[in-house]
Structure 1
Amino acid sequence: MAIRIALAGNPNCGKTTMFNNLTGSNQYVGNWPGVTVEKKEGKLKGKKDIIITDLPGIYSLSPYTLEEVVSRDYLINERPDAIINLVDATNLERNLYLTTQLLELGIPVVIALNMMDLAVKSGDKIDEKKLAAAFGCEVVATSALKGEGLTEVVDRAVRLANARTIQVPKHEFSREVEGYLADIADLLPNSVPDHLVRWYSIKLFEQDEKVLGTTPLSADSSKRIVEIVKDAEKQMDDDAESIITNERYEYISKIITGCLKKNRKGMTVSDKIDRIVTNRILALPIFVAVMFVVYYVSVTSLGTIVTDFTNDTLFGAWIQPAVQSLLETAGASEWLVSLVVDGIIGGLAAPIGFAPQMAILFLFLSVLEDCGYMARVAFIMDRIFRRFGLSGKSFIPLLISSGCGVPAIMATKTIEDDKNRRMTIMTSTFVPCGAKLPVIALVAGAIMGGAWWMAPSMYFIGIASVIVSCIILKKTKMFAGDPSPFVIELPQYHVPSVKTVLLHVWERVWSFLKKAGTILFLCCMVMWFLATFGVENGAFGMVEDMEASFLAIIGTFLAPIFAPLGFGSWQAVASSLSGFVAKEGIVSTMGVLANMAEATESDAALWQYVMTDFFHGSALAGFTFLTFNLLDSPCLAAISTMAKEMGNKSWTAFAVIFQNVFAYAVCLMIYQLGSFAMGGGFGIGTASAVIVLAVTLYLLFRPAPKADKKTGAAAARI
């Protein structure tokens, strides 16, 4: 029978690093039943009968965020055989708060004092034996980053699991609180297991809604518990939940006094770095400079070198000619050669050719995340975002969106306020995701000759669009109200784990490649068929002139809609349409059309074809094309996730409509006003852009409506 061990701990305590070290490649990722919070499980290296579950990073087992609910439900209902509780040795007091709650579940707990190398380096001394005696559980010093102590901590957890030990919490609160808890324990039904009596007593004292709703209490017992809680709140002059919180911290403080000797002489290295990195004046310029370097190296500098090799040499000079020669030698028909070489390989080659750029980008982002800098960015952006109605919690999804919009939308679950959560869902996909990176790289090469500033500018256009749209939305009654509070623990800076960083990069790139092998494969075939077949000279079949193809007919029909934005060619419209399925499809469609136009000799030929036939030689039109596909509604997978998180068809429809209308309005202003500024005439399009600009300015600077009483009450409770 398999042994199940759960990893539990605060965010940024090294849990993911330990999980990766323990399981290696034996991991499988899915979603928790009924929710879309990521679930990670893996088999211990060398021992297939030991399953490790990586629980979401949480600060407590209170039901405030979905992560806390998921972790609590798993621990109570699934009851793993043991828990490895990762505790940041450099921040004992904050981390041990969760430990006191885990010990009350009756499941064997082993405390992994993680980051002990950092604690020792700073001169702190932790008496592990005293800590173990105080909590009544085993304590092991570990360093997940260096792989130290991991074997020992797992061995102890396995030994406790095999012994079927029932964890008995040793911590006690004040005499008054223990008396109230004892009174509640006497009222619990017999169905509550003995090892969970204390946990249920505490949760009922805190008036935990989920526990109250699932515990089969009689009417008299429920009434009596309410009386006990009211009496306690009156006697102790505080609300019940705060009483328990204070009791936990008082107990932890007593333990730390006897177990921890700090040796802080002045500021730590992290504190010194933070004086610069989180400085009110320097923080934002530093962040802008960091992201500029990341995108410059990923897309323009090193990224261009590897992408040119992939597109020009690997696919253009080796694979496509070889496959074409092989098929023609085998006597394959013309349409089959065209399908395979132009449609499938040509279509897939375009987005796959940018995979190396994506890998470099994700490498940079993973390093910044793992070293602790991105936590600082969230803190920095909270000061800015609060001015526009969002909290720093909204920046986390925006940051994740630079990888993929789907997990970014899922990450909004941590935002308690529904209005702020919906607003973040609607705007998070404005930030360029990995799928948009190939589009940026290709179009930037086509319209600007690979200008170094294009990729970073798209990132900052996305951020600016988030801010502008949030200001507009926040000034409507649907979204009016105070932003939700933001609390984040800033971890100590440390050297990133090479293994963890490479695993993150591989997961993201592999996800992109899988999409290329499924969705984009079908997209390429459909686009090839539409671009190859049509009605020419009154007969259906393969067309010699692409202008007679079905794709040209569809694109030409819809072109007037996009003509005011500057890209009214059927090729550009057709490419944009494929982007509604998957953003990489834009590049795939361009690749299909370019291959069929025989612009396959080099990237330069492809870019020249795009510039001439797609945008009629107008760099401004190419820029608006890129901006529109950056800001319009995301891919179908992201829209599907959006629908699940919104939980309402009307809200989902509103979100999609808002995204597309916003993208259209922005691009209309860019192209029409830009054309006028460069010497163009003043016509209907320019007048429309002026009207749109006036409306936008009004929506931005009009006074915000007062939040209703419900919103104010909710903010006060928070």
Structure 2
Amino acid sequence: MNMEGKMRVALTGNPNSGKTTLFNAITGRIEHVGNWAGVTVEKKEGDIKKNLNKTNVEITAVDLPGAYSMSPFTSEESITSGFVKNENPDVIINIVDATNLSRSLFFTTQLLELDIPVVVALNKSDLTKKKKTAIDVSKLSKSLGCPVVETVSTKGNNNGLEKLISKVVEVKDKAQTAPFDSKGVNMSDKNSVEAYDKKRYDFVKGIVSKVEAREVSSNTQTKQDAADRVLAHKWLGIPIFAVIMWAVFSISQTHLGPLLADTLVGWIDLFYGWVEGLLGEGTSPVLSSILLDGIIGGVGAVVGFLPLIMVLFFLLALLEDCGYMARVAVVMDRFFKRVGLSGKSIIPMVIGTGCAIPGVMATRTIKNERQRRTTAMLTPFMPCGAKLPVIALFAGAFFNDSAWVGTTMYFVGIAIIILGALVVVRITGEKHARSFFIMELPEYKFPSVKRATISMFSRAKAFIIKAGTIILLCNAAVQIMQTFNWQFQVVAEGAENTSILASIASPFAVLLIPLGFGVWQLAAAAITGFIAKENVVGTLAVVYGITNFIDTEELALVSDGANVASIMGLTSVAALAYLMFNLFTPPCFAAIGAMNSEMEDKKWLWGGIAFQFGMGYAVAFITYQVGTLLTTGAFGAGFLPGLIVVAAMIAYVVYLIKKGNEKAERKLALSV
């Protein structure tokens, strides 16, 4: 029982009804808004804004995942169904898409049977005129037996939100009648349920025919259809996606991003000089080194790339908001089906381009257990926001055109995902399993600059918090370990290989010789990258003593005017191999924790981590050795030992696939 003066309201609705946008509008929260089912995979809570709530009642809104029915088919529908049935909210706000009334009201009629007051928010009501549709709101309210309020959650004035909240308070504790009641149906009888659902559909059609007047032009191809014929074409869709991603990286990392980064880098330089002046000449060199080079230098090297990342996030948010990213999922569906996944697997992977953690968590919307675990294992191969500073650094330092490097990393990630899925489906012996992908495509629309800006700053905030906590502590620890040896004596200049850090990283460096970067400094940066991938840049700044952060014209860390490429002593081929090693080995520890939660199986978890390590090592080895052969006419150092390691990994995978084929044949024999 809720305390007097407090209310809890559940926001429910179909995917793409504008539910999360409305939640953001009435609470002031910033939740992710997407154009596909399953974006909100957990309930989110927030208090209604005071300018909308004119009462003394404190109202908490709960944003539930999108659902089409109270009979859950997917895990997100289970969250919605379970909350509404078991948590007893005071009122349900059912967000209904005014442009697609017939689809939305099936769910509405189910909600009206729960003996909980319902208020219908007829959302996107501003779009009905564009679609030449008129809805009689008063008649709809009478037909449903609940208040219906027209809302526009994307606009600030005359949007109906204040009236909506007023109706919510008004109906609290009032009895709710159900215009269509299925309480007498035997839910265990499939035929009975299907028959009653058909009657419900007919009932909804009857309501729609009475309250909606729509001008239909079925023989006319709309602009939306014409756009889909090109953007979602089975062959043209892929090259178009490649060009769009290239343009995104070109703008963010070659043109606009570096221009904005100049200002930030100047501020960091001023702060560095100010702190250096405060310390003075009498300060301990060790303390000065830890503070200036370890903390400010390391963190500043990462933060210096923030403008590039913000521009990238802004552009991706625009693509998502306009409806294009949903088409990417459709284009990729036929490829994913052939490797044992479905188009729905692309959704976590697209979300994972922002951060691997929510991307992995989004796999819970996949019903098939093997597909869910496989997607959770493969999603981190998509370059996330934490990996962008690494891409930007190496693209600018070693290659003239940074845009193609970033774009290539995304498509290499997709190629690895497809190869990985192909391997997993054969190891598990489920290569004949069928998968289905049903997805409602949103309409194309002009993206909201406001929402893209909010999304950009939200991700930038998370990036800065990580830089000020995890990365700061990690870089301080790296600087301390580089400053002292195991006797806690300060390491003499020129004897850095006797430091604690060098002694820890050197054994790992030996394993990396066949990949072209077998030095302890690069090994140390790769190791700290497992804490947070941004640490790769910060650690490189610390171990190489780089203090002037980045040259934003070349996207490179510099020291005393020298290019980072010469400081690190890598060839462009070795640099590309090092970049791929850091991108395609296991993600940060937090993402691994998310994998553990979603896989719910230790065998799958450790198998996934081993696969990620093996894939990253193999890709880096092939890149370095083949690239070196093509550029110099001979293989690189450590070719034979590396070949043995990679061959052993491939042989083990082949062995597992053979066992999987035997398993599949036994299943097929039993089914016959």
Q: What TM-score, normalized by structure 2, do the two folds share?
A: 0.89
Letter of the aligned partner of 2:153 in structure 1?
A
- Residue 46 of structure 2: aligned partner: 42
Mapping for residues 655-674 of structure 1, pairs under 5 Å: 655-674=608-627
- Residue 112 of structure 2: aligned partner: 103
Of the structure 1 ranges 447-456 and 395-404, higher mean CA displacement relative to structure 2 is found in: 447-456
Q: How far apart in 2 are the matches of 1:398 and 1:539?
A: 45
Letter of the aligned partner of 1:159 in structure 2?
E
Cα deviation code 1:243-263 (max 9, x no counterpart): 333222121112112222221
* Deviation at residue 295 of structure 1 after TM alignment: 1.8
Name which of 4, 10, 13 aligns with 1:9: 13
Name which of 502, 507, 510 aligns with 2:453: 502
Mapping for residues 621-640 of structure 1, pairs under 5 Å: 621-640=574-593
Name which of 306, 309, 316 aligns with 1:365: 316
* Deviation at residue 390 of structure 1 after TM alignment: 1.1
The answer to whether the Cα contact below 8 Å between 1:97 and 1:249 also exists between their aligned partners in 2 is: yes
- Go from structure 1 to structure 2 and tell me whether the alpha carbon gap of 1:302 and 1:450 turns closer, same or farther (over 3 Å shift): same
* Deviation at residue 363 of structure 1 after TM alignment: 0.9
Cα deviation code 1:478-529 (max 9, x no counterpart): 5534243111111222233343322222222211211112111110111111
Name the SS of the counterpart of 1:435 in structure 2: helix
- Residue 568 of structure 1: aligned partner: 518
Mapping for residues 474-493 of structure 1, pairs under 5 Å: 474-477=425-428, 479-493=430-444
- Residue 523 of structure 1: aligned partner: 474
Q: How far apart in 2 are the matches of 1:672 and 1:42?
A: 54
Q: How far apart in 1 are the matches of 2:327 and 2:29?
A: 30
Name which of 482, 486, 489 aligns with 1:540: 489
* Deviation at residue 473 of structure 1 after TM alignment: 1.5
- Go from structure 1 to structure 2 and tell me whether the alpha carbon gap of 1:638 and 1:105 turns closer, same or farther (over 3 Å shift): same
- Residue 454 of structure 1: aligned partner: 405
* Deviation at residue 547 of structure 1 after TM alignment: 2.7
Letter of the aligned partner of 1:83 in structure 2?
I
Mapping for residues 45-194 of structure 1, pairs under 5 Å: 45-46=49-50, 47=53, 49-147=58-156, 148-161=159-172, 164-172=173-181
Unmatched segments (≥5 aa) in structure 1: 30-35, 173-180, 182-197, 208-228, 234-238
Of the structure 1 ranges 61-70 and 112-121, higher mean CA displacement relative to structure 2 is found in: 61-70
The answer to whether the Cα contact below 8 Å between 1:108 and 1:165 also exists between their aligned partners in 2 is: yes
- Residue 198 of structure 2: aligned partner: 246
Mapping for residues 321-340 of structure 1, pairs under 5 Å: 321-328=273-280, 331-340=282-291
Does structure 1 residue 418 correspond to structure 2 residue 369? yes
- Residue 178 of structure 1: aligned partner: none
Does structure 1 residue 644 correspond to structure 2 residue 597? yes
Q: How far apart in 2 are the matches of 1:170 and 1:451?
A: 61
Name the SS of the counterpart of 1:3 in structure 2: strand
Name the SS of the counterpart of 1:516 in structure 2: helix
Q: How far apart in 2 are the matches of 1:661 and 1:597?
A: 31
* Deviation at residue 604 of structure 1 after TM alignment: 5.5
- Residue 306 of structure 1: aligned partner: 260
* Deviation at residue 408 of structure 1 after TM alignment: 0.4
- Residue 21 of structure 1: aligned partner: 25
Mapping for residues 196-595 of structure 1, pairs under 5 Å: 198=183, 201-202=184-185, 205-207=186-188, 229=189, 239-265=191-217, 266-311=220-265, 313-316=266-269, 318-328=270-280, 331-449=282-400, 451-477=402-428, 479-534=430-485, 540-545=489-494, 546-594=496-544
- Residue 37 of structure 2: aligned partner: none
Q: How far apart in 1 are the matches of 2:470 and 2:434?
A: 38
Cα deviation code 1:545-568 (max 9, x no counterpart): 323322222222221100001111
Q: What percentage of residue pairs aligned between the two structures are identical?
A: 39
Q: How far apart in 1 are the matches of 2:649 and 2:83?
A: 51
The answer to whether the Cα contact below 8 Å between 1:58 and 1:67 also exists between their aligned partners in 2 is: yes
Letter of the aligned partner of 1:282 in structure 2?
L
- Go from structure 1 to structure 2 and tell me whether the alpha carbon gap of 1:360 and 1:251 turns closer, same or farther (over 3 Å shift): same
Q: How far apart in 1 are the matches of 2:137 and 2:627?
A: 67
The answer to whether the Cα contact below 8 Å between 1:26 and 1:45 also exists between their aligned partners in 2 is: no
Of the structure 1 ranges 394-403 and 485-494, higher mean CA displacement relative to structure 2 is found in: 485-494
* Deviation at residue 452 of structure 1 after TM alignment: 2.8
Give RMSD over aligned pairs: 2.9
The answer to whether the Cα contact below 8 Å between 1:391 and 1:483 also exists between their aligned partners in 2 is: no
* Deviation at residue 689 of structure 1 after TM alignment: 8.5
Letter of the aligned partner of 1:138 in structure 2?
P
Letter of the aligned partner of 1:170 in structure 2?
P
Name the SS of the counterpart of 1:113 in structure 2: strand
Q: How far apart in 2 are the matches of 1:103 and 1:493?
A: 32
* Deviation at residue 462 of structure 1 after TM alignment: 0.8
The answer to whether the Cα contact below 8 Å between 1:22 and 1:150 also exists between their aligned partners in 2 is: yes
Mapping for residues 658-697 of structure 1, pairs under 5 Å: 658-681=611-634, 684=640, 688=644, 691=647
The answer to whether the Cα contact below 8 Å between 1:328 and 1:337 also exists between their aligned partners in 2 is: no
Of the structure 1 ranges 44-53 and 352-361, higher mean CA displacement relative to structure 2 is found in: 44-53
The answer to whether the Cα contact below 8 Å between 2:32 and 2:455 also exists between their aligned partners in 1 is: no
Letter of the aligned partner of 1:556 in structure 2?
S
* Deviation at residue 305 of structure 1 after TM alignment: 2.1
Unmatched segments (≥5 aa) in structure 2: 34-39
Letter of the aligned partner of 1:293 in structure 2?
A
How many residue pairs get aligned? The number is 642
- Go from structure 1 to structure 2 and tell me whether the alpha carbon gap of 1:425 and 1:665 turns closer, same or farther (over 3 Å shift): same
Letter of the aligned partner of 2:102 in structure 1?
E
The answer to whether the Cα contact below 8 Å between 1:446 and 1:608 also exists between their aligned partners in 2 is: no
Letter of the aligned partner of 1:634 in structure 2?
P
Name the SS of the counterpart of 1:541 in structure 2: coil
Cα deviation code 1:153-172 (max 9, x no counterpart): 221112112xx112111125
The answer to whether the Cα contact below 8 Å between 1:534 and 1:543 also exists between their aligned partners in 2 is: no
Letter of the aligned partner of 1:511 in structure 2?
A
* Deviation at residue 589 of structure 1 after TM alignment: 0.3
* Deviation at residue 300 of structure 1 after TM alignment: 2.2
Cα deviation code 1:138-194 (max 9, x no counterpart): 112222122422221221112112xx112111125xxxxxxxx6xxxxxxxxxxxxx
Letter of the aligned partner of 2:106 in structure 1?
Y
Letter of the aligned partner of 2:162 in structure 1?
T
Cα deviation code 1:426-463 (max 9, x no counterpart): 11010000000001001112221453311111111111
Q: How far apart in 1 are the matches of 2:668 and 2:73?
A: 19
Letter of the aligned partner of 2:49 in structure 1?
K
Letter of the aligned partner of 1:453 in structure 2?
W
The answer to whether the Cα contact below 8 Å between 1:5 and 1:51 also exists between their aligned partners in 2 is: yes
